[in-house]
Structure 1
Amino acid sequence: MRRLLLSTAAMLAAITPGFAQTAIPDTIVTATRVPTPLERVPAAITVITRQQIEERGYATLAEALAAVPGLRIAPNGGFGQQTSVFLRGNSSRSTLVLLDGVPLNDPSAPNNEFNFGNDLLFDIERIEVLRGPASSLYGAAALGGVVNLVTRRAPADRAFAPYGEAAGGSNATFRGGLGAAGTLGRFDYLASVNNLSTRGSNATAERFVNTLRERDGVSASAATARLGFTPIEGTRIEGLFRYRQNRFGLDSVPRDDPNYTGDDRRWFGQARAETRLFDGAWTTGLRLAYTQDRRAYSNLPDLLSRATTRDLYRGERLTLDWGNVVRLPDLGAARQGALSFGANWSQEEARSLYGSAPFQTRVNAKQDTTAGHLAVQYRLWERLDLTAGLRHDHVGGFEGETTWRVGFVYHVPEFHLRLRAAGGSGFNAPSLFQRFGRTGTTFIGNPNLRPERSLGYEFGAEMDLPAFGRPDFATLGWTFFQSRVRDLIAFNAQFSTLVNVDRANIHGAELVAALRPFPWLTAEAAWTLTSAVDARTQRPLPRRPEHVVSLSARITPIERLVITPQLQFTGRSQEGPFATYLNSGASVSAPRRNKSGTILNLAASYRITPEVTAFLEARNLTDSAFEPVNGFQIPGRTVLAGTRFAF
């Protein structure tokens, strides 16, 4: 695998030195905390815009992220089911999810991970995905990267701008949303509600003999409200509230579980104030944010089992953040400098009770984190962008952790070329369950666990190729990445506690291409190669496929009509022990590989008037029974038709 990756990277480096963005969708904040044009960011960034969300028919966060290079989605069924992300081969707990810059990872989750299977996108304006260690900016859980959800904003030139959508289709599915936003003098506002309900499909693989083919439906609702006030130019005060609740059916492997249901709720609120000082040279802001996750899973007696369980989880996070951006003076050839610095305090609390006696697990604990961060960036000779950042986190109960990141981007405008390199460190703090969880007398958490630590780097290039009179006829690019992770948290030999024993070696390449042969056609391709192995045994880590390929296109054959086909191939991946099942239902404790799978989606939209658009969304057109997680298959073929409006 290493030989293939290195030879591929070398071949691309010889053929074309890289990949330069021709269209900058907006400035990026996630990668540096300073609004920076995408082409100047020394990191691999994917931006999914509101236009792409609508044209490609993305209703959920998992759907939107599926084609991101270097990111692998692993769902245990359809919407509402537990869905993990493996970013550049790192563990599922190594991706930090933000909402407008505020962490969302659930403190009550055993690994403090984020469930990507629960969020709708009606109130989301854009999604920024930062690949690579970002702990120097965001601290714990950003070892593998960051996903930042940016909510919709009110238009500055409209007092009342309503928008909405309504759609229905396969499996008795209904999706609807209604919102309004506007600016009234010094005040601006936004309010929206949305819902998704479906009868769903069977999540347990139908290849199992004992499956009941029982459907796992879901009813999901969400509401968002924002109120902003600008007393003077350069000063803003705002509050944001967001709530969602999902009720859904769950399944087990290798047999269905018809009375297994879940209820997942999240409250989110923040108040923030920001002002500009010294003629705008210094921007300072203060934010107070609170999130609460409440989850309940009930399993009642049925014809397959008389067992009754009710698992309860409650996680809370209170965050106080002070951030600053100072525009630095020019120093000879060094221009457009910026210094960002700030301090952060957060408190996480988890209260959980799950499982059945005598193996019932309890968690009732909290921990505080205090951190400070500093970063600087400059542009030299109008060609070289340099960035460097440092952060120190102190988590109550164990020693502090200092992380760093440096990077550069070198521009060669004569060849529409951009060269990029970066390196840095990351860490994952132990979760509250890992430190303080207790299962009867059989398992006791380890409060002395050390953080998981990583050291990695990446380098790549991007370039536009003109042809046939088009300056951006093609765009080619590649990125090679490598990281070493140590002090991974795992069970001891007796499964009685957790210890820092494991290590992982990860390397890979992200190859991308875009072709624009005609004004009405854009085609894109991404191929991710990943090798993630246990450093001690050299065995592949579970659920990290060596190959993931995505193909997509935007076709406008006639005015007002947009067609967006998407094809995704996921190669074989290793599964862990105790995850393999025979058709008879018996379990096998030896590791095995999951089969590869291909998914074809298609969306089309037609703009009836400037304000009203009709759309059609078809997913899994080939009715594939692909199992991204062994034993759980993706939903079958579905079609949804509807309309959206924005006045």
Structure 2
Amino acid sequence: MRGAIKHIATSGCLLSVCCPLSVNADDVDVFELSLDELLQVKITTNTLDEKSVQTIPAPITVFTRSDIESLGARYLHQVLAYVPGYQVARYTVHPYEYSASARALSDGSSSKKILFLLDGHAVNDPRSGNSVNLANFALHHIERIEVIRGPGSSIYGSNAFTGVVNLITRQSTPQVSLATGNELNGDLFAMHRIEQDNFSVDLQANITDSDGDSYRLDDTFSSEQITTSDPYSQFSYQLKLTAGSSSVLWHHRRLDMDDFYHASRISNRYNQSRYESMFLLAEHDVLLFDTVQSTFIFDAIYTDIENSNQSTPAGSFAAISEPASEEPLHGTGYLESNRFKLGWHNNWQITDHSNAQFGIDWQRSEETRAEGYTNFSVDDVLNQQIPIRSYPGRDSLVKVGAEDSATLYGAYVQLQTSTGDFNWIAGGRLDHYRDFGNQFSPRVGAVYVPSTTWQFKALYGEAFRAPELSETGLFTGISRAGNKDLDSEKIKTFDLIAQYVDPSMMVTINGFYNRYSDPIVSAEIDGRTSLTNGDDEQSKGVESELIWSGWRNSRIRLSATHFYDLPDSAFRESDTLASVQINQQVGDLQLGLSGTYRSDRQSLTSSGDFIKIDSYWAWNAQLRYVFSSQWGVSLAINNLEDKQHTNPSIADDLNGVPNKGRHWVVEVTRSFD
């Protein structure tokens, strides 16, 4: 089946390239337009009212649709690697998992400390707060990515701890694209729009199938090496209805992953994962008074995760099981959760120079299913009860979570005003949790704009992350356990920003200082991996970014980050980051070279020693050719040098996790007038 998909995709791409097409010789400097587009973007992520990159009171990086295409990125994690202060790593909890961290503060293999938004609505997992599967979010659906560095709890509450990533969806125009590659069997995307008066329907659909890369790795259950791969398939569809001042977005996504690492163990026979999510995001705008614009929101989010993996070598319980079984211990876990949210948000234009934002939220998250089925009794294994009961049908039920719920009440207020060349902001949010009490997150800031080219910003903010249902309610298992005594972790952040902007260049330099209280960190408790509140920590560093289009039809985008002080728990993070993106337009041909740098990191071994993970540059190349206003073709090559880059491992019995080798994708796009 996969071979047939790849044959169809390859044939379609070749047929499209070979068609006689007209050449568009429009002599427009696309990169100058791209920078101008960026400067004109109205950003609402940080303050809930419209700001430009010059006046927003936050360190921010924005990728427009043209930026995404110039980068040749297909998934969100590929773009986040180019954001100052952000690091993307591949981990081993799921076979095709990428995790992001902001300012070197990570939480193992998850991205719980970063809040992910879809059109301004929070979409982190209701049960775990994770966003690792969002890192594989297909960018076909996205028009713009707004990335905030630093705290956002004064507006959004929990999880907006070290960053906020807002994915702005595309307004559909009739288009079809087809892609294939050396690992990619096929990637088909289509979108269409129906519009009548003040009513519109946007429909988008994407289906992907990949054989993945091949790896030669140490076998988890023997002293030999084993060949494995990381195949995956994914589909997503998105429907957005807009009628006047009301809109409803429905997004459904499923990702299936096989083989490679699962729970940090390799098993080509048993390792399988399925992640499915459905988002219903609705909002309605009302003009309450001449100066007060209100928005009512309703969110419903459902996630369903199915994980299968192997836990022991074959024959481990052969002599002590009843009935006797040579099978390894293996099983499948089922995790389901949902979240419902109601919100009322307001923007009050007090005077020409002052405005205020205020609102309230109610949210209920629930773990509706947390159980698994295994072929041996896990209770017998944990309690060392001999003989261990075996179940050839793999129908021994084990509960893995408390299947509990959490209710949140939140309220925020924010005042903004301008005096002369200064813009001021002050505000805060109060969140109340049944189990964790009250959390208050303030913010204050000043933006000084002495000229049309220079901006200076001084910012202070606090944030928190409340423990998730999966962290407090996880039942004791063979290797992991929850901790019901966890408290919220908190952060205080200072930012000083200098920014220069002119029609051909934007330069930003940002220094920051973070102070963490009660950080939630991994710990070994009773021989099992768990979480605990650690000692207070701090970090500080400098982030910089340059976008330059001074030469006609060319653009350079650079970023650099250095952390001068990192918490002890951040040993898996690099202290120096950099990225390069160079694009050149020659007629209708666009060429691009991009790369990311990660300095040395460390991984922890089972003996408690640290091993060094070497630094590396990862280079990519992009080529795009526009035949006409209707046809285009692109080629993207990732890991251009085919280097064997490695990430630190979460598990202490692995020496690192390999990244993908060289892989290329060719895509043909057909637009319809």
Q: Same fold (TM over 0.5)?
A: yes
Give yes or no for the alignment of 1:374 onto 2:391: no
| Alignment partners' CA distance in 1, 2:69 and 2:604 | 37
Q: Write the letter of the residue equivalent to 1:298.
A: S
1:267 corresponding residue in structure 2: 278
- CA, structure 1 residues 494+118, in 2 after alignment: closer, same or farther (shift >3 Å)? same
| Alignment partners' CA distance in 2, 1:149 and 1:485 | 27
- CA, structure 1 residues 203+451, in 2 after alignment: closer, same or farther (shift >3 Å)? farther
Using the TM superposition, give the Cα deviation of residue 34 of structure 1 relative to its aligned residue in structure 2, in angstroms: 0.8
- CA, structure 1 residues 302+88, in 2 after alignment: closer, same or farther (shift >3 Å)? closer
Normalised TM-score (structure 1): 0.85
Measured on the aligned residues, the alpha-carbon RMSD in Å equals 2.7
Using the TM superposition, give the Cα deviation of residue 542 of structure 1 relative to its aligned residue in structure 2, in angstroms: 2.9
Give yes or no for the alignment of 1:635 onto 2:645: no
SS at match of 1:32: coil
Q: What is the aligned length?
A: 588
1:60 corresponding residue in structure 2: 75
| Alignment partners' CA distance in 2, 1:396 and 1:301 | 36
- The answer on whether the counterparts of 2:105 and 2:570 sit within 8 Å (CA) in structure 1 is no
Q: Among 168, 174, 179, which residue is 1:162 paired with?
A: 174
Give yes or no for the alignment of 1:501 onto 2:534: yes
2:27 corresponding residue in structure 1: none
| Alignment partners' CA distance in 1, 2:602 and 2:175 | 44
| Alignment partners' CA distance in 2, 1:113 and 1:127 | 15
Alignment of 1:104-119 (within 5 A): 104-109=123-128, 112-119=130-137
Using the TM superposition, give the Cα deviation of residue 171 of structure 1 relative to its aligned residue in structure 2, in angstroms: 1.9
Give yes or no for the alignment of 1:527 onto 2:555: no
| Alignment partners' CA distance in 2, 1:592 and 1:87 | 23
2:260 corresponding residue in structure 1: 251
- CA, structure 1 residues 203+43, in 2 after alignment: closer, same or farther (shift >3 Å)? farther
1:308 corresponding residue in structure 2: 330
Using the TM superposition, give the Cα deviation of residue 574 of structure 1 relative to its aligned residue in structure 2, in angstroms: 2.6
SS at match of 1:136: helix
2:28 corresponding residue in structure 1: none
Give yes or no for the alignment of 1:387 onto 2:425: yes
Using the TM superposition, give the Cα deviation of residue 78 of structure 1 relative to its aligned residue in structure 2, in angstroms: 12
- The answer on whether the counterparts of 1:211 and 1:255 sit within 8 Å (CA) in structure 2 is no
Using the TM superposition, give the Cα deviation of residue 637 of structure 1 relative to its aligned residue in structure 2, in angstroms: 0.8
Using the TM superposition, give the Cα deviation of residue 145 of structure 1 relative to its aligned residue in structure 2, in angstroms: 1.1
Using the TM superposition, give the Cα deviation of residue 261 of structure 1 relative to its aligned residue in structure 2, in angstroms: 1.1
- The answer on whether the counterparts of 1:98 and 1:147 sit within 8 Å (CA) in structure 2 is yes
The percent identity for this pair of structures is: 23
| Alignment partners' CA distance in 2, 1:439 and 1:564 | 50
- CA, structure 1 residues 73+172, in 2 after alignment: closer, same or farther (shift >3 Å)? closer
- The answer on whether the counterparts of 2:499 and 2:507 sit within 8 Å (CA) in structure 1 is yes
| Alignment partners' CA distance in 1, 2:218 and 2:39 | 45
1:238 corresponding residue in structure 2: 247
SS at match of 2:403: strand
Normalised TM-score (structure 2): 0.82
1:15 corresponding residue in structure 2: none
Using the TM superposition, give the Cα deviation of residue 368 of structure 1 relative to its aligned residue in structure 2, in angstroms: 0.2
| Alignment partners' CA distance in 1, 2:370 and 2:225 | 31
- CA, structure 1 residues 476+24, in 2 after alignment: closer, same or farther (shift >3 Å)? closer
SS at match of 1:93: coil
| Alignment partners' CA distance in 2, 1:417 and 1:449 | 45
| Alignment partners' CA distance in 1, 2:95 and 2:176 | 23
Give yes or no for the alignment of 1:405 onto 2:449: no
- The answer on whether the counterparts of 2:409 and 2:432 sit within 8 Å (CA) in structure 1 is yes
Gapped runs of 5+ residues in structure 2? 1-34, 315-326, 383-397, 650-655
Give yes or no for the alignment of 1:516 onto 2:558: no
Q: Cα deviation per residue 1:411-437 (whole Å; 9 max; x = unaligned)?
A: 1216x2111111111101011122222
- CA, structure 1 residues 406+577, in 2 after alignment: closer, same or farther (shift >3 Å)? farther
- The answer on whether the counterparts of 2:93 and 2:261 sit within 8 Å (CA) in structure 1 is no
- The answer on whether the counterparts of 2:36 and 2:503 sit within 8 Å (CA) in structure 1 is no
Q: Among 476, 487, 499, which residue is 1:439 paired with?
A: 476
- CA, structure 1 residues 291+204, in 2 after alignment: closer, same or farther (shift >3 Å)? farther
Using the TM superposition, give the Cα deviation of residue 237 of structure 1 relative to its aligned residue in structure 2, in angstroms: 1.4
Q: Cα deviation per residue 1:462-488 (whole Å; 9 max; x = unaligned)?
A: 124xxxxxx655543311111111112
Task: Pick which of 358-367 and 189-198 moved more.
Answer: 358-367
2:391 corresponding residue in structure 1: none
Q: Among 328, 340, 347, which residue is 1:318 paired with?
A: 340
Q: Cα deviation per residue 1:115-153 (whole Å; 9 max; x = unaligned)?
A: 344311111111111110110010001110111111122
- The answer on whether the counterparts of 1:567 and 1:599 sit within 8 Å (CA) in structure 2 is yes
Using the TM superposition, give the Cα deviation of residue 591 of structure 1 relative to its aligned residue in structure 2, in angstroms: 2.2
2:587 corresponding residue in structure 1: 559
Q: Among 160, 174, 178, which residue is 2:186 paired with?
A: 174
Gapped runs of 5+ residues in structure 1? 1-19, 155-160, 231-235, 465-470, 579-587
2:113 corresponding residue in structure 1: 94
- The answer on whether the counterparts of 1:390 and 1:404 sit within 8 Å (CA) in structure 2 is yes
| Alignment partners' CA distance in 2, 1:481 and 1:22 | 28
- CA, structure 1 residues 23+428, in 2 after alignment: closer, same or farther (shift >3 Å)? closer
1:570 corresponding residue in structure 2: 598
| Alignment partners' CA distance in 2, 1:399 and 1:104 | 23
SS at match of 1:62: helix
Q: Among 234, 238, 244, which residue is 1:224 paired with?
A: 238
